[in-house]
Amino acid sequence: MSKIVVNNPIVDINGDEMARVLWNKIKEELIFPFIDLNLLTFDLSIENRDRTNDEITIESAKSIKTNKVGVKCATITPDDKRVKEFNLKKKYPSPNGTIRNILNGTIFREPIIVKKIPKIVGHWNQPVVIARHAFGDIYRSKEVFTGNGGKLKMLYEHKNGIKEEIDIYDFKSDGVGLAYFNTFDSIKDFAYSCFNFSIKRNFPLFLSTKNTILQKYDESFKEIFDVLYEKEFKKEFEKKNLLYQHRLIDDMVACLMKWSGGFVWACKNYDGDVMSDLVAQGFGSLGLMSSILQSPDGEIVETEAAHGTITSHFRQHQNGKETSTNPVASIFAWSKALKHRAILDSNNQLEEFSINLEKFCLETLNKGYMTKDLALMCGPDQKWITTNEFFDIIVSRIKN
């Protein structure tokens, strides 16, 4: 079997713990034997981020920007315990946040649907893709305790010096207040990412806000999306028979429960934070959730599994025990990155390989060969296999 030749590189970001073990196995067993590929590898293990004062994270993001395709393994975001465990110079920020800021992208979280695996919400038989606008709102807000009474006001000083003062509330006793913001540039980039993703994914797009209450703030999200849709995306959406619609967040939540999936949901920052966890639970497993960071123009893509470094399994692995860790979301991170490279390079063989890789994983799971996390969801009679056994099956499927 001759190897598929890939002319342009993929940026490979390695990570930590059990996710790193899976990562190396995917490359050694599922990629290198079949694809002649130039990988630009960045080691984002916590030790190397510490050694390079986190410069390696910035370099990796710049490389994705240049080469347009990246695939990232889960990494530790250190808390106080991790700072102690690895004797770190400081508590480094989440690499995902750093990379996202440099690529100015939107994260799309999509569940991998497997017929055999029961879902908590049984009728969700197509993916619900959550797009979260990860800028501003409460995450960049300023808060105040009002003490025992006083006036809360908002002051906006225009560039030309004109001041606008708005009375918020006249407190008679203890209370709290907050202020937050967003920018039209960021909302516009978010809208571009969402429209481009929907077209590529061939799914309708829904934006949710509470514009009946926030008639300037949330209405701006709606207007920016509406204007962009009319000006740049309507024709393409209509050609593909795709729908774009704004809905109130409460209405959208009700639709989520009624519908069977198969759409992209553009969420404001806090809504996306909450809804992505709700949807992940509804579909049942973190081990079956993939994540794509995409630039506004849809050209730059970084893929990953949504789960973390699976520390408890890594402890077993360190003790020499074989684990039953689910590699499917990490394999899909690779298949999606390969697919994006294939589309950019018009490489049909590579595209076919990426599609087959996903197909083989799904067929294997549907035949009842699965890791323990998924077997537990199927019930007490479902047998489970180790990670090594799962890889062996996939390798033999690719070879035959």
Binding site for ligand NAD (CB under 6 A): 74-77, 96, 286-287, 304, 307-313, 325-326, 373
State the Rg of the chain over Cα: 23
Residue 12 structure tokens: 């490979």
Judged by CB, which is closer to ligand NAD: 85, or 185?
Answer: 85
Judged by CB, which is closer to ligand NAD: 137, or 304?
Answer: 304
Residue 327 structure tokens: 């590699």
Residue 281 structure tokens: 């639970």
Query: How far, in Å, are 90, 222, 388 from residue 262 at the CA level?
Result: 42, 22, 33
Phi, psi (rounded to 5 degrees) for 161: 95, -15
Judged by CB, which is closer to ligand NAD: 252, or 333?
Answer: 333
Judged by CB, which is closer to ligand NAD: 52, or 349?
Answer: 52
Q: Any idea what DSSP says for residue 288? A: G
CA distance 30 to 398: 8
The strand pairing partners of 1, in sequence order, are none
* 3-state SS, residue 368: coil
Phi, psi (rounded to 5 degrees) for 157: -100, 110
Judged by CB, which is closer to ligand NAD: 57, or 182?
Answer: 57
CA distance 253 to 233: 25
Judged by CB, which is closer to ligand NAD: 76, or 205?
Answer: 76
> Shortest approach of ligand NAD to residue 77 CB, angstroms?
4
> Shortest approach of ligand NAD to residue 219 CB, angstroms?
33
> Shortest approach of ligand NAD to residue 332 CB, angstroms?
11
> Shortest approach of ligand NAD to residue 147 CB, angstroms?
37
